[in-house]
Chains A and B, each alone.
Chain A
Amino acid sequence: MKLLMIDTSTIVATAAVVDENRLIAETIVNYKKKHSEKMLPAIDHLFQDSGMKLSDMDAFGVVNGPGSFTGLRIGMATAKGFAQALEKPIVTVSTLESLAYNACVYPHYICPVIDAQRGQVYTALYRFEGNTTNSILTSYLSEGVYGIDTLIEEIKAKNEKEEPVLFLGDGLKKHGRQLSEISPKIQLMPAYFAMNRASSAAAAGYQKLSKGETVNYFQAGLNYLRKSSAEEQMEKKQGKIDG
């Protein structure tokens, strides 16, 4: 089965085609955010270079959040368009799970952090468990928006034995130093490997595809993890009236 995975959730525009146990082609552009202009031409090149066609794909994958609201929609609308035109299923992968797959042989805690502005990050805490042939990503802190101080407290509470924790994701730019001061066993992923890659998302996505965990192009949705600011303000106002 062939899967095209698309990730436009962050500043990185990336797409990959994978087969079982094989990365066939990948494109990564980590420079200036013009995903709407560049993503489809990059996918087109990827197919031209590899001699495949879009219609050779058995499923379309998309990283469905959290991340840039607009970026997420560009990826999702593209995946939905492909899937609807060719009547194929969609596989969605969390941006945070995808980042964890950048470090899929790391035996300790993995904490992806994506900058959510306002001193907050989109984050979760994972660990790959099981053996090398069947390693399962297990969640220790559910996906959410956390203030950086809250996240640090959560990690300290979960990690009483002070095991190593690996941080990665674009949130390192702003918060890397503060996170590295949690304990001497903290590790920060080097920049090249700390960013989103469609091949990592595809690794996670392929497992889902194999298990039949697909959705159709009507259902496929985004996990923004945050409401629009208009909704937030409205709720605040109503909260004041109610309270």
Chain B
Amino acid sequence: MKILSIESSCDETAVAVIEDGRHILANQVYTQIAIHRKYGGVVPEIASRNHVMKMPFVVQDALDEAHLDFQDIDAIAVTKGPGLVGALLVGVSEAKALAYALDKPLIGVNHIEGHIAANYLAFPELEPPFLALVVSGGHTNLVIVKDYGLNVILGRTRDDAAGEAFDKVARVLGYPYPGGPAIDKAAQTGDEHAVEFPRAMLEDGSYDFSFSGLKSAVLNEINHNKMKGIDFRKEDIAASFQAAVLDVLTDKTVRCAEENHVKKIVLAGGVSANKGLRKRMSQVGKKHGWQLYYPPLSLCTDNAAMIGARAYYDYQLGRTSDWHLNAMPGLELPGVVK
């Protein structure tokens, strides 16, 4: 089954063609990073304006890359949420029109589930059940994927997602957008023990996350140094901040894996591109005998391939959409909350 998938939840205009949820026939991403950089972050209105003009080109590029025509496509998939509402609406409207005109099924896909499914593309042998740590700009989740159709959600973010904290800290340190990769790079030459930032573990046994306290602590530290004229290395702040985030993420993942007797661990989401996180998880994984999976960098950031991969399983489960499909900016990861 060949699915043409569309992703426009933020500032990437992306279209892919995926076969049977596992094989990438085309994966086109038009990134708007250069457009948004001068504003220090994504401007939703500008992102939406670019999506609507770029989309037909990216659709055509994906078909060309796959050497296919619309007639060869069996279904149309699209990110329905979460994301920026105006940006999502472009992809949703386009996908609905394509599906209606071609008389093909329409599959609205949850973007967070898409991030998890990126691993299905990279690892043909990977099947549920497994424990997934999803870390992105808007979401931090610890979830046991029991089956393709059932998530048991153990932890979620209570305030700022990890990626959000990365972006804000980067901005204050004066790194260009997107801030995550910049912090990661700076952290590699900084001293992670330079500043002892708080690690919010929340109450005993909780797998939820909170990064707003850490974010404030970092911003206070920077402001304090600036006010008092104290010299500081940006790299040290970046390294100390990143170490605090990674401590929380790894500690909770380890505890969760042990308590639930899971050895198969999957990283997903934009922040899974973070070299520090990958390295730390690999070290911890070796110690605990994990089979650790994380997607190649090209599938960590937003892309449509992961949406097409997830769409295949949604379709198998009968989770298709009708012509009323709307953008759902505040959509959560579906599943049973434990």
Known: A70-B48, A221-B53. A79 touches B97 (CB 8 A): yes
* Contacting pair A85 B45 (CB below 8 A): no
Is B214 on the interface with A (CB-CB < 8 A)?
no
Is A54 on the interface with B (CB-CB < 8 A)?
yes
Query: Shortest Cβ distance from B34 into chain A, in angstroms?
Result: 15
Which residue of B60, B93, B326 contacts A81 across the interface (Cβ within 8 Å)?
Answer: B93
Among B51, B91, B100, the most chain A Cβ lie within 10 Å of the Cβ of B100
Known: A77-B52, A228-B43. A54 touches B90 (CB 8 A): no
Proximity bits, A30-51, B CB within 8 Å = 1, else 0 = 0000101110110110000000
Which residue of A38, A74, A78, A228 contacts B45 across the interface (Cβ within 8 Å)?
Answer: A228
Proximity bits, B83-94, A CB within 8 Å = 1, else 0 = 001100111111
* Contacting pair B89 A230 (CB below 8 A): no
* Contacting pair B92 A36 (CB below 8 A): yes
Query: Shortest Cβ distance from A101 into chain B, in angstroms?
Result: 25
Bound complex: CA of A202 vs CA of B197, how far in Å? 63
Query: Shortest Cβ distance from B91 into chain A, in angstroms?
Result: 8
Is B324 on the interface with A (CB-CB < 8 A)?
yes
Is A76 on the interface with B (CB-CB < 8 A)?
yes
Query: Shortest Cβ distance from A203 into chain B, in angstroms?
Result: 23
Proximity bits, B60-95, A CB within 8 Å = 1, else 0 = 100000000010000000000000011001111111
Bound complex: CA of A40 vs CA of B59, how far in Å? 20
Which residues of chain B are within 8 angstroms of A80 by Cβ–Cβ distance? 52, 55-56, 94, 97
Bound complex: CA of A84 vs CA of B55, how far in Å? 11
Which residues of chain B are within 8 angstroms of A43 by Cβ–Cβ distance? 100
Which residue of B39, B55, B91, B323 contacts A44 across the interface (Cβ within 8 Å)?
Answer: B323
Is A55 on the interface with B (CB-CB < 8 A)?
yes
Bound complex: CA of A44 vs CA of B99, how far in Å? 12
Q: Which of B161-215 contact A (CB under 8 A)?
A: none
* Contacting pair B46 A231 (CB below 8 A): yes
Among A43, A85, A222, A228, the most chain B Cβ lie within 10 Å of the Cβ of A85
Is A117 on the interface with B (CB-CB < 8 A)?
no
Which residues of chain A are within 8 angstroms of B323 by Cβ–Cβ distance? 40-41, 44
Is B232 on the interface with A (CB-CB < 8 A)?
no
* Contacting pair A40 B98 (CB below 8 A): no
Bound complex: CA of A156 vs CA of B325, how far in Å? 47
* Contacting pair A73 B89 (CB below 8 A): yes
Known: A37-B326, A218-B57, A230-B43. A81 touches B48 (CB 8 A): no
Q: Which of A67-108 contact B (CB under 8 A)?
A: 69-70, 73-74, 76-82, 84-86
Which residue of B51, B56, B91, B327 contacts A218 across the interface (Cβ within 8 Å)?
Answer: B56
Which residues of chain A are within 8 angstroms of B55 by Cβ–Cβ distance? 77, 80
Interface residues on A, range: 20 to 34
* Contacting pair A55 B101 (CB below 8 A): yes
Query: Shortest Cβ distance from B105 into chain A, in angstroms?
Result: 14
Known: A69-B48, A228-B49. A40 touches B96 (CB 8 A): yes
Bound complex: CA of A58 vs CA of B4, how far in Å? 25
Bound complex: CA of A43 vs CA of B56, how far in Å? 21
Bound complex: CA of A229 vs CA of B322, how far in Å? 34
Query: Shortest Cβ distance from A50 into chain B, in angstroms?
Result: 16
Query: Shortest Cβ distance from A216 into chain B, in angstroms?
Result: 9
Known: A80-B56, A81-B94. A74 touches B89 (CB 8 A): yes
Is B336 on the interface with A (CB-CB < 8 A)?
no
Is A109 on the interface with B (CB-CB < 8 A)?
no
Which residues of chain A are within 8 angstroms of B86 by Cβ–Cβ distance? 69-70, 73
Bound complex: CA of A131 vs CA of B322, how far in Å? 47
Among B38, B56, B92, B322, the most chain A Cβ lie within 10 Å of the Cβ of B56
Query: Shortest Cβ distance from B57 into chain A, in angstroms?
Result: 6
Which residues of chain A are within 8 angstroms of B49 by Cβ–Cβ distance? 69, 73, 222, 224, 228
Is A217 on the interface with B (CB-CB < 8 A)?
yes
Is A234 on the interface with B (CB-CB < 8 A)?
yes
Which residues of chain B are within 8 angstroms of A54 by Cβ–Cβ distance? 100-101
Known: A34-B326, A36-B327, A234-B38. A81 touches B46 (CB 8 A): no
* Contacting pair A81 B52 (CB below 8 A): no
Bound complex: CA of A230 vs CA of B41, how far in Å? 11
Bound complex: CA of A217 vs CA of B59, how far in Å? 11
Which residues of chain A are within 8 angstroms of B48 by Cβ–Cβ distance? 69-70, 73
Which residues of chain B are within 8 angstroms of A55 by Cβ–Cβ distance? 101
Bound complex: CA of A44 vs CA of B86, how far in Å? 23
Which residue of A41, A73, A230 contacts B93 across the interface (Cβ within 8 Å)?
Answer: A73
Bound complex: CA of A34 vs CA of B85, how far in Å? 13
What are 14 inter-chain pairs, A to B, with CB distance below 8 A?
A36-B93, A36-B326, A69-B48, A69-B49, A69-B86, A70-B48, A70-B86, A73-B89, A80-B56, A81-B95, A81-B100, A84-B98, A224-B49, A228-B45
Interface residues of A (CB under 8 A from B): 34, 36-38, 40-41, 43-44, 54-55, 69-70, 73-74, 76-82, 84-86, 217-218, 221-222, 224, 228-231, 234
* 4 closest residue pairs by CB, A with B: A81-B97, A85-B101, A77-B93, A228-B45
